[in-house]
Every structure is written in structure tokens, then in C-alpha cells.
Amino acid sequence: MIKQKCLLCGQADSHRGLCSPCRDMLPMLPAERCPRCAEPTPGGSLCGPCQRRPPHFDALHVPYLFGYPLSGLLHAFKYGKRLQLAGVLSGLLSDFAAGQSRKYDFVIPVPLANERLAQRGFNQSGELAKAFAGTMNSRFSDDLCWRKYNTLPQASLARAERLRNVRHAFGVKRRCDGLCIAIVDDVATSGATLSSLARELKKQGAKRVDAWVLARAFSPKT
């Protein structure tokens, strides 16, 4: 195996681009969290919003909090076109998934609208999803779904606005009868984007839709 220097501190002894002290610095999401949407809850109980109005995905799997130093890596990856970070970041998601036995018929990224894709040059979720599909021994697809239009950045909106913002943003090209599908993204905030995409997949017959995300961000409660 080729030795790669740690991306954060430059030390030579790294595993998939991060040395173990730097890896330990990555902010973990609390272990006690809602089994549906990963919101931290006392004793890991189902959170209030999921009791009242559960999201359309069946579970959100996410190892980290969107915080220092992971936020910096994700930002460099997404906006700085540091594509070599794809391996490191997808490695973190794959390590997290390593103990899971679930197999998916398809692993798909959250699609970008065409203009956004042209602007950025690549879909950051696509890079993560591709590597994740390999780990899960599942098939990758980036043409099952499409995004109809660019939405406002979710982080700038309150919860109710976020739901509205993405409600009809996605389309699904084929029937998905009986399929188990994993959606992959880099960061989730309220989960509204993932829920909206999951809803379209279920409308096309998908049996189960899980979301796999590297980091969960929290916006001020509204």
C-alpha cells in the first residue's frame, strides 16, 4: 500500500490520508441520536419531528459533525476542487460503513442541477457515492435521478422554508419497484433534501431508501 502523508499535519504515517491523532480530532456525532434522522436525542429515542412527521428516508447514517477540522476538508474538496480529497473523505464514510451488512441495489449521489454541475465541474456527492458503492459491494448509478433546478442554499433557510425549497427539486427516470437504495451526500442539515429525493424514489416503488452522509450540520433552532 502506498504511504500517503497526513493531509492535516503532514506526518508520514497515515491511513487513507489521515494519521490517527488527526482522525481522532474529527468531531463525532453523539452516539445517542434519533434512529431515523440522527438528531442527538436523550437515550437515542425517536425525536419529536420524526414522531410527528417522519422523513421519507428510512434512516440517516452519519458519523461526523460538520465542524473543525472536517468542515475545512469538505470545503476544500467542494469549492477548492481538491479532488485528491475524494479518497480521504470517502474513506471516512467507508470506514464508518465497514461493520454494516446491508446491501443496496443502487448507491446514488444527490444530483446537482446541470448549471451547478457545469460551474463546479464535478459533483462532490458523486465522488463519495462511487467509493461508497465499492465498499458496500453495491451498484453505483448517477443517472437514476436528476435535479430539476438549483435550490437556494439550505443552510440559509429556516426549517419550514427548507422543506418548501426542495419539495419538487428532483425527478426519477425509471421505476424502482422493490429496490433498496442508498443516497450519498457530503453534508446534511435538516435532511430535507434527502427526504425530498427519497420521496420521489418511493413514489417510483423503492422499498427502502437510506441516506449516508459524511457530516451533519446543525442550524440554529427555528
Residues of this chain that interact with Zn ion (CB under 5 A) are 6, 8-9, 11, 19, 22, 34, 36-37, 39, 47, 50
The bridge status of strand 170-172 relative to strand 145-147 is: antiparallel
Residue 221 Cβ, how far from Zn ion at the closest point, in Å? 14
Give the orientation angle of helix 85-97 with respect to helix 70-79, to 10 degrees.
Answer: 130
**Residue placing its CB nearer to Zn ion in the complex, 176 or 183:** 183
**Residue placing its CB nearer to Zn ion in the complex, 26 or 129:** 26
Select from 107, 108, 100 the least CA-distant residue to 138.
107
Residue 135 Cβ, how far from Zn ion at the closest point, in Å? 23
Residue 36 Cβ, how far from Zn ion at the closest point, in Å? 4
Residue 50 Cβ, how far from Zn ion at the closest point, in Å? 3
CA distance 171 to 187: 21
Please state the separation of Cα 196 from the chain's center in Å.
Answer: 14
CB 146 within 8 A of CB 111: yes
Residue 183 Cβ, how far from Zn ion at the closest point, in Å? 17
**Residue placing its CB nearer to Zn ion in the complex, 45 or 119:** 45
CA distance 216 to 185: 10
What cell was used for 137? 459491494
CA distance 62 to 216: 7
What cell was used for 105? 441495489
**Residue placing its CB nearer to Zn ion in the complex, 16 or 75:** 16
Residue 83 Cβ, how far from Zn ion at the closest point, in Å? 20
How far CA 62 is from CA of 40, 93, 204, in Å, comes to 12, 8, 25
Angle at 8 between CA 117 and CA 73, to 5 degrees: 20
**Residue placing its CB nearer to Zn ion in the complex, 22 or 86:** 22
**Residue placing its CB nearer to Zn ion in the complex, 39 or 58:** 39
